[in-house]
């Protein structure tokens, strides 16, 4: 007997009551009830994003909201600064290029973060840049960025700050209004305890000023349409994935009950314990400035990283994520965001220990488990 256990940094496990909600009959999306539910979801997202601004609900994966940010904010030929530390920073670059932006990139080496100092330099050199695009949690390497410091740099500048919070929101501290984030994007399937299918985007007044002076170049993702529909409704301009919206309401209620600060603390505590376990096993952490949504482990040179992950899944049902692109086989990514408790993570550590021992690595069975428990108890 074997159970399936999902530890990928998206999608992530979904609470039972949310799954049950998804099984209920489909309703009409323009009904008074649907509008009331959308209103509640928007309020819940405002709380999670820590913003007074409306949060627009898009039926797409997270990348759709990233594309919305680019097309609404940036005109062809305009210069933007990209703070990138991996694959998801590169996703910004791909979208920006597709829409003809001139991209000045501040790149961090794999496992490193873009520092506020380097961003400040780029802003000095490129005072004509209209926006800075970056990532809260770089899910490809496990690095978290100092978004509060980035926000400080932009507070008295013309450029707007655009943050991909797709895997960070709901896992690590992020305060849209207090930190001066102008456009914040996230998605349903990371720390928001939902299946894939919804993306969320909020815009500050400074962000709206930029949008209003930028030619409209899109239809489905034209944020003016979302703003009007939400203000008039609450409603969406096109048929939304209303089944998912109804389920998201329940997941957001969970976060509100727990309290967002407590949610951030819980993830931080899991992340610290997980890092202690990894180090106790003699393994190396990949991220220099680790995010608390996931733990990324460097594969020891003697092992085939992809083979270990296959064995973990085949023998014990634990699904962790491999590295992507050039990091394939070189890192393991263990997510602990969303609907995950300490005993879920302990299970993953115990299984990893076993598979490592079976793969010929010298590990003391239980060393990671004990380190996790000690670190967890110490907090």
Ligand X SMILES: *Cc1c(COP(=O)(O)O)cnc(C)c1O
**Is residue 139 at the binding interface for ligand X, with CB under 6 A as the rule?**
yes
Which lies closer to ligand X via its Cβ, residue 289 or residue 311? 289
Q: Which stretch binds ligand X (CB under 6 A): 30-38, 131-139, 144-152, 279-287?
A: 131-139
Which bin fits 77, alpha (ψ -120 to 50), beta or left (φ > 0)?
A: left
Helices (H) and strands (E) in the chain, counts: 14, 15
- What residues from 156 to 175 belong to the interface with ligand X (CB under 6 A)? 164, 166-167
Of 5, 6, 10, 204, which lies in the binding site for ligand X, with binding defined by CB under 6 A? 10
Of 13, 44, 54, 62, which lies in the binding site for ligand X, with binding defined by CB under 6 A? 62
Cβ partners under 8 Å of residue 38, min gap 6: 57, 230, 233, 234, 235, 236, 240, 245
In whole angstroms, what is the distance from residue 30 CA to residue 378 CA?
Answer: 51
87 is in an annotated binding site: no
Cβ partners under 8 Å of residue 357, min gap 6: 363, 365
Which lies closer to ligand X via its Cβ, residue 60 or residue 243? 60
Contact 48, 252 (CB under 8 A): yes
CB of 36 to ligand X, least distance (A): 27
**Is residue 135 at the binding interface for ligand X, with CB under 6 A as the rule?**
yes
Q: Which stretch binds ligand X (CB under 6 A): 43-51, 61-69, 75-83, 227-235?
A: 61-69
Contact 86, 138 (CB under 8 A): yes
Of 88, 133, 150, 332, which lies in the binding site for ligand X, with binding defined by CB under 6 A? 88
Which lies closer to ligand X via its Cβ, residue 9 or residue 44? 9
Measured in degrees and rounded to the nearest 5, phi and psi for residue 127 equal: -70, -10
**Exposure b/e, 64-82, CB count within 10 A at least 16 = b:** bbbbbbbbbbbeeebbbbb
**Is residue 63 at the binding interface for ligand X, with CB under 6 A as the rule?**
yes
**Among the listed residues 151, 186, 160, the one whose alpha carbon sits nearest the alpha carbon of residue 72:** 160
Binding mask 185-224 for ligand X (x = CB under 6 A): --x--x-----x----------------------------
CB of 338 to ligand X, least distance (A): 12
In whole angstroms, what is the distance from residue 287 CA to residue 269 CA?
Answer: 17
Q: Residues within the annotated binding site?
A: 333
Residues forming contacts to ligand X in the complex (CB under 6 A) are 10, 61-63, 88, 91, 135, 137, 139, 164, 166-167, 187, 190, 196
Q: Residues within the annotated binding site for substrate?
A: 333
């Amino acid at each position: 007997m074997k159970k399936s256990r999902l530890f990928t940094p998206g999608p992530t496990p979904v609470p039972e009551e949310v799954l049950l909600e998804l099984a209920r009959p489909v309703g009409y999306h323009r009904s008074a009830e649907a509008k009331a539910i959308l209103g509640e979801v928007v309020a819940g997202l405002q709380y999670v994003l820590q913003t007074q601004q409306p949060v627009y609900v898009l039926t797409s994966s997270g990348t759709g909201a990233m594309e919305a940010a680019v097309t609404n904010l940036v005109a062809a030929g305009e210069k933007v600064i990209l703070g990138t530390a991996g694959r998801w920073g590169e996703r910004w670059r791909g979208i920006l290029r597709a829409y003809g932006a001139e991209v000045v990139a501040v790149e961090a080496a794999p496992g490193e973060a873009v520092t506020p100092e380097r961003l400040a330099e780029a802003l000095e050199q490129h005072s004509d840049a209209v926006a800075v695009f970056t990532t809260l949690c770089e899910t490809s390497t496990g690095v978290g960025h100092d978004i509060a410091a980035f926000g400080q740099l932009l507070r008295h500048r013309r450029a707007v700050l655009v943050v991909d919070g797709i895997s960070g929101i709901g896992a690590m501290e992020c305060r849209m209004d207090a930190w001066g984030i102008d456009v914040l994007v996230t998605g349903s399937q990371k720390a928001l305890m939902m299946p894939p299918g919804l993306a969320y985007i909020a815009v500050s007044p400074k962000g709206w000023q930029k949008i209003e002076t930028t030619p409209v170049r899109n239809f489905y993702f034209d944020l003016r349409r979302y703003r009007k529909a939400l203000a008039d409704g609450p409603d969406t301009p096109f048929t939304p994935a209303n089944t998912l919206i109804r389920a998201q309401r329940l997941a957001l209620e969970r976060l509100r009950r727990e309290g967002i600060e407590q949610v951030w603390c819980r993830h931080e505590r899991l992340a610290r314990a997980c890092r202690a376990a990894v180090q106790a096993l003699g393994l190396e952490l990949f991220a220099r400035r680790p995010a608390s949504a996931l733990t990324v482990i460097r594969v020891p040179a003697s092992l085939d990283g992809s083979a270990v992950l296959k064995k973990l899944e085949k023998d014990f049902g634990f699904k962790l994520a491999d590295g992507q692109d050039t990091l394939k086989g070189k890192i393991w990514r263990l997510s602990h965001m969303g609907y995950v408790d300490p005993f879920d993570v302990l299970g993953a550590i115990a299984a990893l220990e076993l598979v490592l021992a079976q793969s010929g690595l010298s590990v003391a069975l239980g060393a990671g488990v004990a380190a996790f428990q000690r670190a967890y108890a110490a907090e």
